[in-house]
């Protein structure tokens, strides 16, 4: 985003949104393969619709990950989200599995062999971004959008709000003055609910979850607070709208505040640079901003299928860098091996840590003790400061 005064909007969707159901199922399958063999290759897509899940994709992994186990994993993922509705129920839904073995042509280009290092699983461009708008070094609109829905989900799962159902969306518009967010000008929340709740009741259930998430004094005017604008949201989830893996890539990243290379994350093992290199780019950008070398940092990486090293590394601080950006790009490559293998080893990505990423964003999350969200660490700060005498 630019300097000056303007409005900027980002949206989020909950774990029960049809597309997020698919991301969760696909990532749960990735975790299952990696828990049996950390070198499994997985690229799994999910489609969801009324009482039906369809799985497709390519894998190479241990024989003990059977079709029956994959079906159990899919059902368990849907159960954890909370779907026990007539039109979409974890027990009643049909699960169709069309997953097959990975192409040998892809495998020979990606696998390490002889003097050849492991290559990228596909060509593509990946972006990472960080800024000083929040303590988590994330753009404020997407961060607040996620947290509103996370708060509602926690109330639903705990039983505090039994009238809430899994499918929901949020949208936050912030006013920026001199390039910094100062207040919300509008908030939109649409949440699936039980049929015995009226719109006014839903509005009052939602209100504290918005007010408590926003910084003090940021709440928008009452006429700009929209809750279930259609008036009723009982039929939802995959019964109301079909879902697909990878359709919420802007929700997954920076809410439109930074570029996106176009590749989805969910359903892919960490040899796929769509996922791992986007994590690496965020990791490096976050460390640059945390080291106070820039107020904003965008990093682009590019790859070719079968080639281990990135074709380019680009750094853009939007004019806020306190150091030379060209030198910064060089120093970052010296601090981290940006080959697929190097990224995977540096961030220790070959672990079953991905189902938890499927909702509420892949970035701006606290690193977990078991290595989840390792790309959110800021352990390069001291080295970066030292490299630039800061």
Q: 286 among the known binding-site residues?
A: no
Q: 167 among the known binding-site residues?
A: yes
Q: 17 among the known binding-site residues?
A: yes
For 20-43, give the secondary structure using H, E and C: HHHHHHHHHHHHHHHHHCCCCEEE
Q: 58 among the known binding-site residues?
A: yes
Q: 327 among the known binding-site residues?
A: no
Q: What does the block give as tokens for 20? A: 């997020």
Q: 136 among the known binding-site residues?
A: no
CA distance 23 to 19: 6
Angle at CA 220, nearest 5°, toward 17 and 136? 60
For the stretch 134-139, contacts whose Cβ atoms lie closer than 8 Å and that sit 24 or more positions apart, written own/partner, are: 134/364, 136/364, 136/365, 136/376, 137/286, 137/289, 137/290, 137/364, 138/254, 138/361, 138/363, 138/364, 139/1, 139/10, 139/254, 139/255, 139/257, 139/258
Catalytic residue annotation: 17, 19-20, 45, 58, 169, 233, 241-242, 247-248, 268, 272, 274
Decide if 136 contacts 293 (C-beta within 8 A): no
Q: 79 among the known binding-site residues?
A: no
CA distance 123 to 162: 46
Q: 169 among the known binding-site residues?
A: yes
Q: 362 among the known binding-site residues?
A: no
Q: 309 among the known binding-site residues?
A: no
Q: 31 among the known binding-site residues?
A: no
Decide if 174 contacts 45 (C-beta within 8 A): no
Q: 232 among the known binding-site residues?
A: yes
Q: 116 among the known binding-site residues?
A: no
CA-to-CA separations, 340 to 8, 28, 45, 111, 133, in angstroms, rounded: 34, 22, 22, 11, 30
Q: 241 among the known binding-site residues?
A: yes
Decide if 314 contacts 126 (C-beta within 8 A): no
Residue 265: what are its φ and ψ, rounded to 5°? -100, -50
The DSSP code sequence of 71-101 is: HHHHHHHHHHHT-EETTEETTTSEEEEEEEE
Q: Which residues are annotated as a binding site for K(+)?
A: 45
Q: Which residues are annotated as a binding site for L-methionine?
A: 58, 102, 241, 272
Q: Which residues are annotated as a binding site for ATP?
A: 17, 167-169, 232-233, 241, 247-248, 264, 268
């Amino acid at each position: 985003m630019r300097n000056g005064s303007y409005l900027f909007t980002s949206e989020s969707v909950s774990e029960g949104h049809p597309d997020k159901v698919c991301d969760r199922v696909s990532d749960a399958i990735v975790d299952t393969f990696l828990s049996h063999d950390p070198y499994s290759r997985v690229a799994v897509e999910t489609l969801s619709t009324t009482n039906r899940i369809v799985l497709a994709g390519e894998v190479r992994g241990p024989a003990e990950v059977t079709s029956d186990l994959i079906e159990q994993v899919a059902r368990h993922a849907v159960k954890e989200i909370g779907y026990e509705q007539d039109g979409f129920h974890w027990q009643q839904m049909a699960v169709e599995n069309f997953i097959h073995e990975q192409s040998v042509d892809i495998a020979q280009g990606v696998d390490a062999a002889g003097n050849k290092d492991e290559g990228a699983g596909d060509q593509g461009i990946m972006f990472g971004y960080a800024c000083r708008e929040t303590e988590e070094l994330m753009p404020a609109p997407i961060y607040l959008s996620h947290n509103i829905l996370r708060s509602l989900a926690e109330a639903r799962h705990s039983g505090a709000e039994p009238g809430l159902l899994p499918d929901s969306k949020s949208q936050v518009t912030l006013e920026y003055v001199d390039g910094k967010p100062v207040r919300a000008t509008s908030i939109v929340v649409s949440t699936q609910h039980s049929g015995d709740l009226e719109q006014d009741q839903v509005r009052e259930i939602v209100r504290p979850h918005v007010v408590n998430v926003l910084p003090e004094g940021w709440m928008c005017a009452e006429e700009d607070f929209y809750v279930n604008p259609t008036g009723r949201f009982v039929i939802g989830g995959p019964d109301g709208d079909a879902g697909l893996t990878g359709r919420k890539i802007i929700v997954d990243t920076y809410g439109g505040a930074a570029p996106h290379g176009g590749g989805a994350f969910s359903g892919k093992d960490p040899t796929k640079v769509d996922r791992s290199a986007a994590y690496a780019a965020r990791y490096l950008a976050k460390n640059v901003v945390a080291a106070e070398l820039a107020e904003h940092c965008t990093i682009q990486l590019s790859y070719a299928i079968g080639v281990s090293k990135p074709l380019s590394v680009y750094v853009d601080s939007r004019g806020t860098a306190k150091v030379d950006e060209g030198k910064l790009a060089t120093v970052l490559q010296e601090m981290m091996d940006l080959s697929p293998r190097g990224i995977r080893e540096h961030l220790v990505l070959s672990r079953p840590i991905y189902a938890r990423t499927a909702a509420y964003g892949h970035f701006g999350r606290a690193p977990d003790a078991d290595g989840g969200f390792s790309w959110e660490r800021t352990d390069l700060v001291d080295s970066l400061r030292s490299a630039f005498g800061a």
